[in-house]
């Protein structure tokens, strides 16, 4: 009898613990720091700079969320995760948001119980080879040794691609981007495959980027975006609409240069609602009026973040392509702020 009362109390405590962790927003506010899962270092997307500060395109999403929620883009604790540890870290609550070029797939969304808060980069898997190999198409890679980051969707795409083209290959499974780079440069594999953006970022760090080419074939769709846990809709809404705010800001021409000016009020009600001078959208998900303004101020709008981290003026030099606004022929399309 006593034992069952004891166990009942314990299970109640465990249940209470489970429920308490459901409200991520309250946890983050109480903690005063946003725990953000990033990669172990992909230049331009998430990598520490010379002074140890995390910089990059994926990092900027976390900074914008921290600015919206905690009013300070610096209040982020970055947790580097590998392809294998990232989902466990998110599911266990070690991180509040995973912003680590992770592909939105059906099973990750439905079976792994994660929610993708939109797409911040439309990508596809590509191949990088040394020019010395004289290969100009992925169709010529029969029998090649391929370095691949293990535990990613690229592993499955690769198997499918070679199978459908009746080619064989030798996979060399590798844990992190840095190791893959080392193996590739040492010639232990002929080909390095990952998302095309990752290839461009990796190639930019080589001593001789001109001797390596990314093959024209893009063999998959890889919509990359920030992820949160299932079951906390308030939190997933905050992350999703913070990302939408960055995208909408570019569409409406709100930049970090003119945001103070525009925040005084404009004759465009959409901008006014976004920046909090009209209505109170923030209160609907537990934030204040100026959340959107702060999120945009953290690193600029989507276009500014893109240009500063991975755009054509950076060593990585990625063109906007699919990641242009819908008005420019791209896929970026924020639902209205209303």
Partner 1 sequence: MVATSEPPKASFRLSMLIYDTRYRSLTIQVVFLMLFMAGAAWLIDNTIQNLRALGKDFNYGFLSVRAGYDINQMLVQYSNDSSHARAMLVGLLNTLFVAFLACITATVIGVMAGILRLSKNWVVARLMTVYIEAFRNVPLLLWIIVIFAIMTESMPPPNAFRGDDAASSMLLFDSVAITNRGVYVPEPLFGRSLGNIDIGIFLISVDLLAIIAVITLSVMANRALLRNALRVQEATGLRPTTWWKTILILIAPLVALLVALGFHFGYPELRGFNFVGGTHMRNSLVALWLALSVYTGAFIAENVRSGIQAISHGQSEAAFALGLRPGRTMSLVVLPQAMRVIIPPLISQYLNITKNTSLAIAVGYMDLRATLGGITLNQTGRELEAMLLMMLIYLIISLMISSAMNLYNRSVRLKER
**Could you tell me the smallest distance in angstroms from the CB atom of residue 13 to partner 1?**
9
Residues with Cβ within 8 Å of residue 32, at least 6 apart in sequence: 70, 75
Q: How far apart are CA 174 and CA 41, in angstroms?
A: 14
173 vs 329 by CB, closer to partner 1: 173
Report the helix count and the strand count for the chain, using DSSP H and E.
Answer: 13, 14
8 vs 269 by CB, closer to partner 1: 8
* Closest to 87 (Cα-Cα) out of 110, 116, 112, 65: 112
Distance of CA 333 to the CA centre of its chain: 17
150 vs 205 by CB, closer to partner 1: 150
Of 71, 74, 136, 187, the one binding partner 1 by CB under 8 A: 187
Of 71, 188, 283, 284, the one binding partner 1 by CB under 8 A: 188
**Could you tell me the smallest distance in angstroms from the CB atom of residue 166 to partner 1?**
13
User: Binders of partner 1 among 111-170, rule CB under 8 A?
Assistant: 111-113, 132-133, 141-145, 150-152, 155-156, 158-160, 163, 169-170
Stretch of 5-13, 42-50, 268-276, 281-289 lying at the interface with partner 1 (CB under 8 A) = 5-13
User: What does the H/E/C string look like for 25-58?
Assistant: HHHHHHHCCEEEEECCCECCCEEECCCCCEECHH
**Could you tell me the smallest distance in angstroms from the CB atom of residue 274 to partner 1?**
33
User: Binders of partner 1 among 55-94, rule CB under 8 A?
Assistant: 83-84, 87-88, 91
Q: At what angle do helices 302-309 and 233-251 cross, to 10 degrees?
A: 80
Q: At what angle do helices 233-251 and 291-299 cross, to 10 degrees?
A: 60
Q: How far apart are CA 208 and CA 242, in angstroms?
A: 38
What residues line the site for partner 1 (CB under 8 A)?
3, 6-7, 10-11, 14-15, 18-19, 21-22, 83-84, 87-88, 91, 107-108, 111-113, 132-133, 141-145, 150-152, 155-156, 158-160, 163, 169-175, 182-183, 186-190, 229-231
């Amino acid at each position: 009898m006593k034992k069952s009362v004891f166990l009942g109390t314990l299970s109640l405590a465990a249940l209470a613990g489970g429920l308490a962790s459901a409200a991520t927003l309250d946890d983050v506010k109480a903690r005063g720091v946003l725990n953000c899962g990033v990669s172990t270092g992909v230049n331009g997307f998430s990598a520490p700079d010379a002074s140890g500060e995390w910089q990059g395109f994926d990092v900027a999403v976390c900074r914008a969320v921290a600015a919206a929620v905690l009013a300070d883009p610096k209040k982020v604790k970055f947790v580097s995760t590998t392809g294998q540890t990232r989902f466990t870290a998110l599911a266990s609550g070690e991180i509040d948001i995973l912003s680590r070029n992770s592909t939105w797939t059906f099973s990750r969304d439905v079976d792994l119980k994660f929610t993708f808060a939109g797409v911040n980069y439309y990508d596809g898997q590509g191949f990088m080879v040394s020019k010395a190999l004289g290969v100009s198409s992925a169709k010529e890679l029969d029998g090649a040794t391929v370095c691949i980051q293990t535990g990613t969707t690229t592993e499955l795409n690769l198997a499918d691609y070679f199978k459908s083209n009746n080619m064989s290959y030798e996979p060399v499974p590798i844990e992190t981007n840095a190791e893959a780079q080392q193996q590739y440069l040492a010639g232990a594999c002929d080909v390095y495959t990952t998302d095309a953006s990752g290839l461009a970022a990796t190639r930019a760090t080589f001593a001789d980027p001109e001797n390596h080419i990314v093959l024209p074939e893009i063999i998959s769709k890889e919509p990359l975006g920030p992820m949160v846990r299932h079951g906390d809709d308030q939190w997933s809404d905050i992350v999703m609409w913070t990302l939408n705010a960055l995208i909408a800001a570019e569409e409406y021409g709100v930049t970090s240069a003119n945001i103070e000016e525009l925040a005084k009020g404009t004759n465009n009600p959409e901008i006014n609602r976004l920046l909090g001078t009209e209505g109170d959208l923030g209160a609907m998900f537990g934030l204040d009026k100026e959340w959107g303004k702060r999120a945009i101020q953290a690193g600029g709008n989507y276009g500014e973040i893109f240009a500063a981290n991975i755009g054509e003026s950076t060593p990585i030099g990625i063109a906007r392509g699919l990641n242009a606004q819908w008005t420019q022929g791209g896929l970026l399309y924020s639902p209205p702020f209303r």
